[in-house]
């Protein structure tokens, strides 16, 4: 009989290999098609300095610029964003013990949208010290502000509970959405409205080398932290009484996890806009394969989230000739049917059920 550990090891190896192969394939696909072997040779040359074969003519010119300056940073941003959203979705679902939780449950998306709308419609992105970072800085401040309001509101009247967090998130989400619509209504700027709409649909078009270090360091640090928290998250899924019996301070860890996840999600949203469904469906898809043990669920979700975002971005770049579809639209179109299927089949396996 094959041991479960061997099966899970095989799944992880497969996902890791799939991500590596997808990177090479995705940088080859676009309006300018580049053969896979040339893309691989260019990436190896740029990353390691080694030259594969006698193809020095291939390793210079337009193909190198297309891959290294445009497509490869975008693929890295897609990988990081997918991994971060999938990780935060997994953590949020465990923290509030709710299979419908996602990274935006604390009102982060609506808060970021309010900050971005404030910057775009009123022109504050170009004023003062915050003008250096533009829309991203205002979106991040909006996301953190919404998170602080949710955590503060849910803590009134006693300790924070999962139900109070969900309700507080719903309230703050409605308030931030109303404030955004208020600004849009009175600003009456057609160009601003178009910019806000495109930002709220999500896009990786802003991917540049100088923007990758911050987002990569934040996601990598949080990833390493949560890889060591499987015992606590497993206890969370068992309920408050069981967690207390196991000696887990559920209130402390819930707030800690949510603050950390909110920071990661805020960084991702401020860079890429609002990309829905990734943090919701990826953990459920992975649970149906590896189970609910977070020791396996967290790393598998990270890898599958990266894989999902890479190919979603490829589809978004290719589906519209000489154009680009906002990636948030693609993730919703792909994610909603998958989630409905999983609900009908009851295959999400949340909490081991």
CA end-to-end distance (rounded Å), the chain: 24
Helix (H, G, I), strand (E, B) or coil at 222: helix
Q: How far apart are alpha carbons 4 and 10 in whole angstroms?
A: 10
If we measure between CA atoms, which residue out of 166, 134, 137 comes closest to residue 153? 166
Place of tokens 């190198």: 64
What is the Cα gyration radius of the chain? 21
Q: How far apart are CA 317 and CA 312, in angstroms?
A: 9
Each of the 353 residues of the chain gets a pLDDT tens digit; together they read: 456 667 778 888 999 999 999 999 999 988 888 888 888 888 888 888 777 766 555 555 778 888 888 899 999 999 999 999 999 999 999 888 888 888 888 888 888 888 888 888 776 544 444 444 577 888 888 888 988 898 888 887 767 777 788 888 889 989 998 998 888 888 777 777 777 877 788 888 888 898 899 899 999 999 999 999 998 998 888 777 777 777 778 888 888 998 899 899 988 988 888 898 899 899 988 988 888 889 999 999 999 999 999 999 999 888 887 778 889 888 988 888 887 877 777 655 555 44
230: Cβ–Cβ under 8 A, 6 or more apart, which residues?
Answer: 293, 294, 295, 297, 298
Q: How far apart are CA 203 and CA 177, in angstroms?
A: 20
Confirm if 331 and 314 have CB atoms less than 8 A apart. Answer: no
- Checking 122-127 for CB contacts under 8 A at 24+ apart, the result is 122/183, 122/187
Domains present along the chain, CATH in parentheses:
4-352 (1.10.3470.10)
d(CA 26, CA 29): 5
Residue 297: alpha-carbon gap to chain centroid? 16
- The pLDDT assigned to 247 comes to 77
At residue 130, the pLDDT reads 44
What's the confidence (pLDDT) of residue 334? 85
């Amino acid at each position: 009989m094959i041991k479960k550990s061997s099966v899970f090891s095989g799944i992880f190896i497969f996902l890791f290999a799939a991500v590596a192969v997808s990177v090479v394939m995705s940088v080859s696909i676009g309006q300018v098609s580049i053969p896979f072997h040339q893309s691989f040779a260019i990436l190896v040359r740029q990353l390691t300095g080694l030259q594969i074969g006698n193809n020095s003519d291939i390793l210079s010119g337009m193909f190198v610029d297309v891959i290294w300056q445009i497509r490869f940073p975008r693929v890295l941003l897609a990988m990081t964003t997918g991994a971060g959203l999938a990780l935060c979705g997994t953590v949020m679902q465990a923290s509030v013990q709710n299979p419908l939780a996602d990274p935006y449950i604390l009102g982060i998306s609506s808060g970021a949208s309010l900050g971005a709308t404030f910057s775009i419609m009123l022109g504050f992105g170009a004023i003062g010290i915050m003008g250096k970072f533009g829309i991203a800085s205002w979106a991040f401040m909006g996301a953190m502000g919404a998170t602080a309001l949710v955590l503060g509101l849910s803590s009134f009247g006693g300790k924070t509970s999962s139900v109070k967090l969900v309700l507080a998130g719903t309230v703050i989400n409605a308030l931030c959405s109303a404030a955004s619509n208020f600004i849009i209504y009175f600003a009456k700027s057609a160009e601003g409205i178009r910019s806000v709409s495109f930002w709220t649909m999500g896009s990786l078009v802003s991917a540049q080398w100088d923007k990758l270090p911050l987002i990569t360091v934040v996601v990598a640090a949080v990833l390493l932290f949560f890889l060591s928290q499987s015992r606590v998250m497993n206890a969370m899924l068992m309920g408050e009484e069981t967690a207390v019996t196991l000696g887990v301070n559920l209130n402390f860890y819930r707030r800690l996890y949510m603050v950390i996840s909110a920071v990661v999600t805020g960084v991702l949203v401020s860079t890429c806009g609002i990309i829905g469904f990734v943090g919701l469906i990826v953990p459920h898809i992975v649970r149906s394969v590896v189970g609910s043990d977070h020791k396996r669920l967290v790393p598998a979700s990270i890898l599958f989230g990266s894989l999902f975002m890479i190919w979603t971005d490829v589809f978004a770049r290719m589906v519209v000739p000489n154009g680009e579809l906002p990636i948030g639209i693609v993730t919703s179109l792909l994610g909603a049917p998958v989630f409905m299927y999983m609900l009908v089949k009851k295959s999400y396996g949340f909490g081991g059920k």
